[in-house]
């Protein structure tokens, strides 16, 4: 039986066109690979949509010889983690994310990549539209995730 999940990998996603138009596609502020699938799932939940998995469905994923993700560095993935937190989390969770990442060598570069973007305008736009906050999201999935 299908059931609700906090997030899905990008290769396992399908959504209605009207939902994609209303809630948006992958975040343009994440130009490099890493966590964009998690961000879109969190965004959809907070905007009032749901993310479900159907375990009985088989997904085929075709792998390529050459990966289109050349040039991805740890700082880009760290930037995406920071951007996700800044877009969707309250102050206490943002502080926890920053604390968890701040000792990493790539943290300064990732933070520079993050603050020089539209993250604050995008956060305000999403906050004005959302139906739930991050406390609701983490409470909803507390039994399946270490939050």
Q: What is the pLDDT of residue 15?
A: 87
Pairing label, strands 52-53, 3-4: antiparallel
- What percentage of residues in the chain have a pLDDT greater than 90? 60
Contacts of 61 (CB under 8 A, 6+ apart): 11
- Secondary structure string (H, E, C) spanning the chain: CCEECCCCCHHHCCCCHHHHHHHCCCCCCCCCCCCHHHHHHHHHHHCCCCCEECCCCCCCCCCCCCCCCCCCCHHHHHHHHHHHHHHHCCHHHHHHHHHHHCCCCCHHHHHHHHHCCCHHHHHHHHHHHCCCCHHHHHHHCCCCCCC
Distance separating the N- and C-terminal Cα atoms of the chain? 25
The residue among 47, 25, 45, 52 whose CA lies nearest residue 36 is 25
Q: Distance between CA 10 and CA 75 in Å, rounded?
A: 20
Q: What is the pLDDT of residues 51-89, one digit of tens each?
A: 999 989 888 877 777 766 666 778 889 999 999 999 999
pTM: predicted TM-score of the whole model, two decimal places: 0.89
Q: What is the pLDDT of residue 63?
A: 74
Q: What is the pLDDT of residue 146?
A: 54
Please state the domain extents for the chain. Answer: 3-56+74-140
17 versus 146: which is more confidently predicted? Answer: 17
Q: What is the pLDDT of residue 138?
A: 94
């Amino acid at each position: 039986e299908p059931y609700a999940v906090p997030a899905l990998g990008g290769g396992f996603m399908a959504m209605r066109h009207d939902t994609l138009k209303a809630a948006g596609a992958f975040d343009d502020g994440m130009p490099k690979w890493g966590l964009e699938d998690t961000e879109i799932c969190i965004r959809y939940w907070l905007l009032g949509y749901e993310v479900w998995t159907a375990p009985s469905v088989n997904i085929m994923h075709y792998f390529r010889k050459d990966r289109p993700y050349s040039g991805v560095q740890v700082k880009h993935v760290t930037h995406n983690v920071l951007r996700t937190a800044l877009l969707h989390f309250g102050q206490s969770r943002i502080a926890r994310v920053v604390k968890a990442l701040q000792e990493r060598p790539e943290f300064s570069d990732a933070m520079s990549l993050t603050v020089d973007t539209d993250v604050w305008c995008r956060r305000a736009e999403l906050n004005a539209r959302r139906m739930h906050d991050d406390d609701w999201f983490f409470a909803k999935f507390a039994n399946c995730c270490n939050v």
